[in-house]
Amino acid sequence: DAKTTQPNSMESNEEEPVHLPCNHSTISGTDYIHWYRQLPSQGPEYVIHGLTSNVNNRMASLAIAEDRKSSTLILHRATLRDAAVYYCILRDDRNYGQNFVFGPGTRLSVLP
């Protein structure tokens, strides 16, 4: 699976939007971009995924660059509960090995 690069940490104020970047310059045409987050003392939880087009769900939006070499997870109004480690993962849907490669992620702090 291709590698992703994320900032180690970010800060946001409560009720403000947060843009979490991810670089994946070696992405292949069949790699999906997945985002998971891990709240303190919990297992990771799925946030969103996409291939080429921007995606929205109840948790977040995913903006994918036209060349697909980067993407941004957007939390529209950060809450204290959004403080977590956010992981950006590439997943080739042809790879039936199925193992996700979790890097160190971005630790998001939300300030009240």
Partner 1 sequence: GAGVSQSPSNKVTEKGKDVELRCDPISGHTALYWYRQSLGQGLEFLIYFQGNSAPDKSGLPSDRFSAERTGGSVSTLTIQRTQQEDSAVYLCASSFGRGVYEQYFGPGTRLTVT
Q: Which two tokens mark 11?
A: 């800060």
**Residues 110, 112: Cα–Cα separation, whole Å:** 7
Binds partner 1 (CB under 8 A): choice among 87, 106, 108, 110:
87
**Residues 100, 66: Cα–Cα separation, whole Å:** 24
Q: Do 64 and 74 form a contact (C-beta atoms < 8 A)?
A: no
Q: Could you tell me which stretch among 10-18, 20-28, 43-51, 66-74 binds partner 1 (CB under 8 A)?
A: 43-51
- How many CB atoms are located within 10 Å of the residue 12 CB? 20
99 counts as binding partner 1 under rule CB under 8 A:
yes
Q: Could you tell me which stretch among 11-19, 34-42, 66-74, 76-84 binds partner 1 (CB under 8 A)?
A: 34-42
Binds partner 1 (CB under 8 A): choice among 78, 91, 108, 110:
91
32 counts as binding partner 1 under rule CB under 8 A:
yes
Q: What is the DSSP letter of 82?
A: G
Binds partner 1 (CB under 8 A): choice among 65, 103, 109, 111:
103
Tokens 């790879």 sit on residue: 95
Q: Binding residues for partner 1, per CB under 8 A?
A: 32, 34, 36, 42-46, 49, 87, 91, 93, 96-105
